[in-house]
Amino acid sequence: MRTFNIPAHYRSNLIGRIKAFRKTQDPRKQDFTPTLLDLGPLRFILARHFGFCYGVQNAIEISYKALEENPGRRIFLLSQMIHNPEVNEDLESRGLRFIQDTHGRMLMSWDELRSDDIVIIPAFGTTLETEARLKALGIDPLKHNTTCPFVEKVWKRSEQLGEQHHTVVIHGKAAHEETRATFSHTAKGAPAMILKDLHEARELGRIILGTLPESRFHELFGTRCTPGFDPAKDLQRVGVVNQTTMLATETQAIADHLKEVMLEKYGQAQLKDHFADTRDTLCYATNDNQDATTELMKEQADLALVVGGYNSSNTSHIVEMLEGKFPTFFINGDKEIIDGTTIEHYNYPAQKLEHTTGWLPAKRPVTIVLTSGASCPDTLLDRVMLKVLGLVEGVRQPDEVIGRLVE
């Protein structure tokens, strides 16, 4: 896999050395066991895979290169390039402006753009409608396009399903940029709909089998399907694709459930005519990070710290997994660790910030699981680690411990 030119301030002096060591020891990524960093009274258990994925590194390289090569030009980001406030704030500080927020709401007027402006498409991609608007303004939407190749892979698979006369069922969050983009690209060639979870997939299955009326489809999915969607006709042949940052296990469970529904309705002999196998749309980074998180859950620890943007889908799913085993705190970075008593963290299900006291146990040694989402710079984990180290007396120096670990 290619390497990227990432700004030095995103590179890690501590975590990076551990990652490089694990990559050398396991170049084919077959070992998902975590790394134990034993600092005496404080122990960190680090996930095997976390941090910037291929698509994020690609987006960062293109964005900073655009800044470097176009001094004096006006440069805009269509929306948040990735879901990490540290990265987006750094880009803003260098003069970039956002056109939309993450839900597609305008932060400025399209009329403010000029044909000589640069507009960067984020890693999530964008809709065909937005591409057409930019072209109408004389701006090439593909010149600074950072759309993740794995997102584009989903679009291509959706196109194939449409050519085969399948309806495309998209597992995703309807308001998410990536899902909106995938829906737009899919809808040009096939009926499409968005469902958010296995519960909705079961409801859809009942509609397909006729145990729920078609009116239930319009009640649930009426705002999340292509215009003129006809459940009686458009649910006869289906294939499932996903927003690449969803829980891979849930996407597979949704596909498995709809496959069973089609088997029940049409029988084994006709199953291939009514259900398309689409497992190849799952993102490698999402799979790797979630598999690494599964291995973390086999460990014994006092708590978990998950670092990333609060609107990051892939990070929220890591939090969701770890909360099943450990007291888990979802933080943007080291600033949320106020002191050894209080931490500010994000309650993702409730969509709100909370303050917890007594988050760091008094027992020694204290063991902390540490990981992050795919859009989080490793430097943030360095800073989180060092902040926690400063709260515990008698710890060993991480430089020395890591040096012995990777020798």
**Which residues participate in catalysis according to the annotation?**
178
Phi-psi region of 267 (alpha: psi -120 to 50; beta: other; left: phi over 0): left
What's the token pair of residue 401?
A: 């411990």
- Alpha-carbon distance of 355 to 345, in angstroms, equals 6
Separation CA 297–CA 308 (nearest Å): 19
- How many helices (DSSP H) and strands (DSSP E) are in the chain? 15, 14
Q: What is the 3-state secondary structure (H, E, C) of 181-241?
A: HHHHHHHCCCCEEEECCHHHHHHHHHHHHCCCCHHHHHHHHCCCECCCCCHHHHCCCEEEE
What amino acid occupies position 37?
A: L
For helices 128-136 and 177-187, what crossing angle results, to 10°?
90
Query: Coil, strand, or helix at residue 343?
Result: strand
Residue type, 281: T
Two structure tokens written together for 376? 């989080």
User: Sign of dihedral through CA atoms 72, 77, 80, 82?
Assistant: negative
% helix, strand, coil for the chain, step of 5 = 45, 15, 40
| b/e burial code for range 132-144 (CB count within 10 A of at least 16 → b) | eebeeeebebeeb
- Three-class SS state of 106: strand
Residue 236 is which amino acid?
Q
- Asked if residues 101 and 175 have their Cβ atoms less than 8 Å apart, the reply is no
The whole-angstrom separation of Cα 254 and Cα 248 is: 10
Containing 295, the helix (H) or strand (E) segment is helix 284-296
Supply 218's token pair.
């319009």
Continuous H helices in 137-197: 149-163, 177-187
For residue 22, CA distances in Å to 16, 36, 49, 127, 304 come to 10, 12, 10, 38, 21
